[in-house]
Amino acid sequence: MSEKNWSGNVAYGESSLQRPRTLDELQEVVGRATSVRALGSRHSFNTIAATSGTLISLDRLDSPIEIDSASMSVRVGAGVRYGELGAHLQQHGFALANLASLPHISVAGATATATHGSGDRNGNLATSVRSLTVVQADGSLIEVSRGDADFDGYVVGLGALGIITALTLDIEPTFDVAVSVFEHLPWSALDDHFDEITSAAYSVSLFTNWVNDAVDQVWLKQRVGRHAALGAGAGADAGSAGGASADAGSADAGAGADAVGDFFGARPSSVPLHPLPDVAADACTDQLGVPGAWIDRLPHFRLDFTPSKGDELQSEYLIPREHALAAIDALRALGHRIAPLLFVSEIRTIAADPFWLSTASGRDSVALHFTWKPQQPDVEALLPDLERALAPFGARPHWGKVFATDAAALAPLYDRLPDFVRLADRVDPTGTFRNPFLRATLFGA
């Protein structure tokens, strides 16, 4: 029986699923196979992990989490999920710089696809990778580290360069975060104060359906208390700019929504909210400005609940930050076609990074995300028009979500794509790690 992804819209193919318990066993399986893909926690929405060959899950591989406080790093098995890693780090007084909206995803799967959270000064999750241990097509093991010639190609590798068995990540001292949610941000405020709004907290998310007369929700995630200044963007003085009086960013955040004023015309919510309208906030991490550990606030959703809607599809496009307002206008103009298929959209910011195939490679970026209703044919019919609207802005589709962009359209978006193809040809000359998705998007037939 074919394995399926988290949302159930992708069958991985009639492949044999292997779940090795030891590194030796894993190396033997890879060395023997002619076609292999690794599987993370299956949260991608397209066929990026699918294969008719051998599918490998690392969920049974013993993978201790080893913190090295002298070098401020942690070594983890590739299949570890951020939720478990975060709890362990927090217990020992450490943190990662940022997280995605959900803690359910594996470290290797998330970094391989350039998964990101939000924050003007925060790179995507792959930017915390210091080194990778990789099983190559012949079953041999290599270590690739920051500073090595091909490191920037390996980190966002889309599973095309081998099976990652372990990663070393940067860590920092633990910190607290307070989340405040505001409702009904006028579009004119976003137009006039975009930079102030996205820099008003360590991590900022805007939720919209493109047709309402305001941005429905603004989530401000502030670093607070001890170590708050470390790595924070505009953290400490958030909310004071542009006449906004929100004090959610101050070190004593947590006074609660009563003490919080408007934010560029948006009103503080006095109750916890789910990003999706009419969905109870039980699955969401705590809001109302109550500080808590980074692992319990940076993701929108709790590990022990279904994140987002559950029965859904997702697409997302990253554009250079300077085109944000024009791209938002283009999407609002398409709003009447987007909204009927949409649960919610999210706008986030991501700092540039050097990784060859990262969606934020070389550009400070704004991510335009769509949580779609599970109507795949209708969504797929809309995507070419949506992508045409975003094409003038150099929109790069998220590697793990639904998109229509083909290899010809992707090539000009990534300067280092030829280097990546050369690297893949060198380390995997027989194409062991290629699948139809990678051929359609990167390698050609």
Ligand X SMILES: Cc1cc2nc3c(=O)[nH]c(=O)nc-3n(C[C@H](O)[C@H](O)[C@H](O)COP(=O)(O)OP(=O)(O)OC[C@H]3O[C@@H](n4cnc5c(N)ncnc54)[C@H](O)[C@@H]3O)c2cc1C
Residues that bind ligand X (CB under 6 A): 6, 37-44, 48-49, 58, 78, 100-102, 105-106, 108-110, 112-113, 115-116, 158-159, 163-164, 307-308, 314, 398, 400
Give the pair of three-digit tokens for residue 170: 């940067």
Of 86 and 109, nearer to ligand X (C-beta) is 109
Alpha-carbon distance values, 400 to 48, 84, 112, 423 (Å): 7, 22, 9, 21
| Cβ-contact 180, 204 below 8 angstroms | no
Q: Shortest distance, CB of residue 163 to ligand X, whole angstroms? A: 5
Q: Shortest distance, CB of residue 437 to ligand X, whole angstroms? A: 8
Q: Shortest distance, CB of residue 49 to ligand X, whole angstroms? A: 4
Of 72 and 352, nearer to ligand X (C-beta) is 352
Residue 203 amino acid letter: S
Of 49 and 74, nearer to ligand X (C-beta) is 49
Q: Shortest distance, CB of residue 346 to ligand X, whole angstroms? A: 8
Of 100 and 266, nearer to ligand X (C-beta) is 100
Q: Shortest distance, CB of residue 237 to ligand X, whole angstroms? A: 26
Q: Shortest distance, CB of residue 186 to ligand X, whole angstroms? A: 26
Q: Shortest distance, CB of residue 130 to ligand X, whole angstroms? A: 16
Cα–Cα distance measured from residue 71 to residue 200, given in angstroms and rounded to the nearest whole number? 31
CA-nearest of 59, 57, 29 to 135 is 29
Of 113 and 345, nearer to ligand X (C-beta) is 113
| Cβ-contact 165, 26 below 8 angstroms | yes
Q: Measure the N-to-C terminal CA separation of the chain; round to a whole number of Å.
A: 27
DSSP string, 260-300: ---BTTBEEPSS---SSTT--GGGBPP-TT--EEGGGTSSS
Of 247 and 428, nearer to ligand X (C-beta) is 428
Of 73 and 115, nearer to ligand X (C-beta) is 115
Cα–Cα distance measured from residue 408 to residue 442, given in angstroms and rounded to the nearest whole number? 9
| Cβ-contact 409, 400 below 8 angstroms | no
Annotate 183-198 with b (16+ C-beta within 10 A) or e (fewer): bbbebebbeebbebbb
Q: Shortest distance, CB of residue 287 to ligand X, whole angstroms? A: 17
Backbone angles phi, psi at 290, to 5 degrees: -85, 115
Of 109 and 254, nearer to ligand X (C-beta) is 109
Cα–Cα distance measured from residue 29 to residue 15, given in angstroms and rounded to the nearest whole number? 13
